[in-house]
Amino acid sequence: MEVEEKLVKFKTHKEYCKYLKENKIRFGPFYESSPIENAITKASDDYDAPKQIFKNNLYQVSMFEADLFVEEGEWPEMWHLSIKRLDRNAFHDWRDMQRIKNEIVGVDNEGVELFPMERRLVDSANQYHMFVIKDSKVPFPFGFRTRLVDDGEACGTKQRPWREGERPPDATHMTDEELLSIVKSGGEKWHPSVTNGEEDA
């Protein structure tokens, strides 16, 4: 990718963002960044410090070991991704969150965002948290089993338009009849499940 080849030549984040804007690239590739020293980072010991920090023109993602938040022996090892916009504004773009997970950890790794019981609620900044299983062969024991990406006009459904260059190559544009056929089949006519990086036979 051209921008990735040029990324090493940028001396500053500002130059990088300028290049993306001039080339009409909305979501730039992530690069590894150094932590900005502040009161929080000074108070953190080595165990609490992020393993890596990634940044692009929109987001900063701090990658931590999730040991502090996962019951030992109950769940597989996970990464804790702490995500914020660079402008510090609130956001919740599901497609961007999925892309962050894919690019930072992997397309076959599964992650979740927890909506906790009130007594465990943490809401102190426009910061978003995702917990991602390290092992790409281990899925969560819940969720859809198949892939379905559609433009969303069949049977009165509504889907926001894809941004330029971001429509998945396998996205469909189903008719009412095709969607109803899938519903009646119990989902068996969806695309084959993808597990462990390979399509099921």
Please tell me the number of Cα atoms within 13 Å of 56 on its side-chain side: 18
Q: Compute the distance between CA of residue 18 and CA of residue 198 in angstroms, rounded to an integer.
A: 38
Model pLDDT for residues 24-66, shown as the tens digit of each residue: 999 999 999 877 655 555 555 555 789 999 999 999 999 999 9
The reply to whether the predicted model has a pTM over 0.75 is yes
All residues at 6 or more sequence positions from 122 whose CB lies less than 8 Å from its CB, including other chains: 116
Model pLDDT for residues 114-154, shown as the tens digit of each residue: 999 999 999 999 999 999 999 999 999 999 888 889 999 89
Tokens of 175: 């008719």
